[in-house]
Structure 1
Amino acid sequence: MLTTLLPSTSMPASLSLWELLSFDSFAHAGMFCVLCFLMIVGFSKQYTSLTLQRNPVRYSLLISTLFGVTIELLQYFLVYGRHGDVLDVIANTSGCLLGIVFFKWIYEW
């Protein structure tokens, strides 16, 4: 996740369907898929907070999505050489949703 704040010089200048389906988008989705999946597993197995244990999917989606939006805002406002991108937020959120699907597939279906 640290690499999301490192400067990069190979940022695309235009938006197209191919950029939406680029390696970068799949990397974002993959990272956030794993993040959300592991958060759901962790929240459901912990015993400190009953709220998190009873609603692990809801809180994992909320926290991981807010984390993705925060990273993009930090890139936009604070990191020189990077820029926040709406397509990255979409890829992050898609990855979170995919993590939920994987969790449901593995643990509940």
Structure 2
Amino acid sequence: MAEVEEDERPVEPALEPANTWVWRAWNYLSDERPSEVSGVAGPMGGVVWKSKPGRIPWRAAMTWCDVHGYGLEQRDTLYRLIRILDDEYLRWRKQKDSQ
């Protein structure tokens, strides 16, 4: 995966200490995202490839929960919040990619 330039990264939110466990999980699990790759062939053999990130998989989040010893309520909360963060991230990426 290509490194994102510092000025292209979304601004990290100011978090209350009680919410850092969610941000930390979402941030680490971002590496688990699948990518959808599509290409368009042009004249003379040219191809333009575009990668679109997917959502963090449920299994990756549950593995994180297993490793950290989270109970059922924490698992549910974490995954619901990961989905919300993913919605924002994917919306940001879509807007950035369309510019």
Compute the TM-score of the two structures, normalised by the length of structure 1.
0.42
- Name the one with the larger strand percent: 2
Compute the TM-score of the two structures, normalised by the length of structure 2.
0.45
Larger relative contact order (CA 8 Å, sep ≥ 6)? 1
- Name the one with the larger helix percent: 1
